A = this chain, B = another copy of it.
Amino acid sequence: MAKIDAAKMWSLNYRLLTSVITSVAPAIAKLGLETKELFVLAEIDEHPHPAELSAVLCMPKPTVTVNVKRLEAAGFVRREIDAADLRRHRLMMTAAGRKAMTRGLALLSEAYGERLRRLTAGQQGDLRALLEKLA
């Protein structure tokens, strides 16, 4: 595989993801969520602390701060200070937050799934396995 091809693959892949996300952004916005907020929200269960979110989502800390603040204002997230470490904030999804997250992810899945339908079920599994190796 020539070097130049990897850049092409990156671009190809990037545009695919971009076109999918922009196509669902309006529908997600109707749930009261911006797309970045959705991704933050979707990781709160597994990573309840902003610093972890920052690392996992490849997103600078101030961006997490801003998005968490918006999620909180929207009533999708609550936060409390971690008693064991007063620097840390523990984030928790509200019922409304969970509902919005579920719907938002479903919209994304539907849109991306539509693209994936160009592949056979076996190929979809292959793709997933390859991506997991890379990530």
Where the two chains meet, the residues of A that have a C-beta atom closer than 8 Å to any C-beta of B are 1, 3-7, 9-22, 39, 42, 56-58, 105-106, 108-110, 112-113, 115-116, 118-119, 121, 123-128, 130-135
Contacts and interface: CB of A to CB of B under 8 A. Distances in A.
A4 B126 contact: no
Copies in the complex: 2
A89 B7 CA distance: 27
A9 B128 contact: yes
A131 B17 contact: no
Given A22-B58, A126-B130, A127-B127, A116 B16 contact: no
Given A12-B135, A119-B133, A127-B130, 7 more contacts: A1-B124, A4-B105, A4-B106, A7-B108, A7-B112, A119-B134, A126-B126
